[in-house]
């Protein structure tokens, strides 16, 4: 590929010494070579800094930054992304393994799209396949409908290659929400997204993961947590409604208003009915038959008073 654009790769580290070298090796092994690696370490106390210094000492494309105080997962990625110089930015976790053609295939696809992503293969802590992919759990989406990402997300952070305009629209990241879902939502507000159907990352599952897509650590929520989740969902819908000025805004505001009523009620049928009627977009990512989507919409209609009854 001639005139290869620079890709900035944002990598955040925190006590990642167990898997970091393997990830760095997979970045160095990319067939696409015009990249810079922006690493921000979030006050690691293990040998992560020493590993980073060793790799940076042997490759000038690697730039290191160290936080003076711990920022946490979302804010650290926000900082790393802000330090990226290129108009094309890839996101990288510290514990995965990249396919050698990952960047090459994504930069070839991006064209006029605002963001592209790809499938990933789940592996265990030792890097061995567990014979499952993200696409086994979720439908992937290409297009420009932001409402697809209101309730579900198929765009994992480690799979993202985006244009800087998406980042500019998305910063600062809202607290308490997944930054990758926020980026996907904003990308579809700005333009179109697309995906490579191949698994271009080995997505390592272990006890230290910040996300739990396979629900390996899922525990029963308390009543208070369930009520808080309803309120957080309303806050998320309001953020999205204010962020998106396109044709989806009216739908998102309607969902938000129904959610507020639900939060103070036993049951708000209108919320579930709207989800069900617009399931082709709102529940498009849910890889389930319509019967499952119906019960998903039904569950969303139950309010805080129903959850606290008998508490």
Same domain flag for 154 and 278: no
Same domain flag for 229 and 289: yes
64 lies in a domain? yes
How many domains is the chain built from? 2
217 lies in a domain? no
Same domain flag for 284 and 175: no
Same domain flag for 144 and 278: no
Same domain flag for 199 and 228: no
Same domain flag for 105 and 180: yes
Query: What CATH number does residue 158 fall under?
Result: 3.90.550.10
Sign for the pseudo-dihedral over CA of 283, 284, 286, 288: positive
Same domain flag for 36 and 106: yes
Same domain flag for 175 and 237: no
pTM for this structure? 0.93
154 lies in a domain? yes
Q: Could you list the residue range(s) of the whole structural domain that residue 60 is in? A: 7-204
pLDDT per residue over 230-252, tens digit each?
999 999 999 999 999 889 999 99
User: Of 204, 237, 255, which marks where a domain is finished?
Assistant: 204
The structure tokens listed for 165 are 């305009």
pLDDT in single tens digits along all 311 residues of the chain = 458 999 999 999 999 999 999 999 999 999 999 999 999 999 999 999 999 999 999 999 999 999 999 999 999 999 999 999 999 999 999 999 999 999 999 999 999 999 999 999 999 999 999 999 999 999 999 999 999 999 999 999 999 999 999 999 999 999 889 999 999 999 999 999 999 999 999 999 976 655 655 555 556 788 899 999 999 999 999 999 999 988 999 999 999 999 999 999 999 999 999 999 999 999 999 999 999 999 999 999 999 999 887 55
42 lies in a domain? yes
Torsion angle of alpha carbons 267, 273, 276, 278, nearest 10°?
-130
Same domain flag for 278 and 182: no
The three-class DSSP label of residue 19 is coil
Q: How far is CA 184 from CA 90, 187, 290, 299, in A?
A: 13, 5, 24, 25
What pLDDT, on a 0 to 100 scale, did the predictor assign at position 1?
A: 46
User: Of 170, 204, 238, which marks where a domain is finished?
Assistant: 204
Same domain flag for 237 and 135: no
Same domain flag for 171 and 229: no
pLDDT per residue over 66-101, tens digit each?
999 999 999 999 999 999 999 999 999 999 999 999
Same domain flag for 183 and 135: yes
38 lies in a domain? yes
The structure tokens listed for 184 are 């996907």
pLDDT per residue over 156-178, tens digit each?
999 999 999 999 999 999 988 99
Q: How far is CA 182 from CA 95, 152, 156, 168, 249, in A?
A: 22, 11, 11, 12, 15
56 lies in a domain? yes
User: Of 204, 238, 271, which marks where a domain is finished?
Assistant: 204
């Amino acid at each position: 590929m001639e005139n290869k654009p620079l890709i900035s790769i944002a990598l955040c580290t925190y006590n990642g010494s167990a898997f970091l070298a393997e990830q760095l090796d997979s970045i160095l092994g990319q067939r696409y070579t015009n990249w810079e690696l922006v690493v921000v370490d979030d006050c690691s106390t293990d040998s992560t800094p020493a590993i980073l210094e060793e790799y940076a000492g042997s490759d000038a494309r690697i730039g290191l930054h160290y936080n003076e105080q711990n920022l946490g997962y979302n804010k650290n990625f926000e900082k790393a992304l802000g330090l990226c110089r290129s108009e094309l930015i890839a996101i990288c976790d510290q514990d995965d393994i990249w396919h050698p053609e990952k960047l090459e295939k994504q930069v070839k696809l991006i064209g006029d799209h605002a963001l592209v992503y790809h499938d990933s293969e789940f592996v265990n802590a030792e890097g061995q396949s567990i014979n499952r992919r993200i696409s086994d759990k979720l439908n992937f989406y290409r297009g420009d409908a932001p409402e697809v990402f209101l309730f579900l997300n198929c765009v994992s952070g480690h799979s993202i290659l985006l244009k800087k305009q998406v980042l500019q629209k998305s910063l600062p990241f809202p607290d308490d929400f997944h930054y990758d879902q926020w980026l996907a939502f904003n990308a579809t507000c700005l333009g179109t997204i697309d995906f490579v159907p191949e698994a271009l990352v080995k997505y390592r599952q272990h006890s230290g993961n910040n996300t739990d897509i396979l629900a390996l650590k899922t525990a029963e929520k308390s009543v208070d947590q369930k009520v808080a989740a309803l309120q957080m969902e309303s806050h998320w819908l309001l953020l999205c409604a204010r962020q998106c000025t396109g044709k989806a805004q009216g739908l998102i505001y309607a969902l938000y208003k129904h959610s507020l009523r639900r939060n103070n009620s036993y049951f708000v049928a209108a919320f579930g009915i709207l989800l069900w009627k617009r399931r082709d977009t709102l529940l498009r990512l849910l890889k389930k038959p319509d019967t499952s989507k119906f019960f998903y919409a039904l569950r969303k209609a139950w309010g805080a008073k129903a959850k606290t009854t008998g508490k």
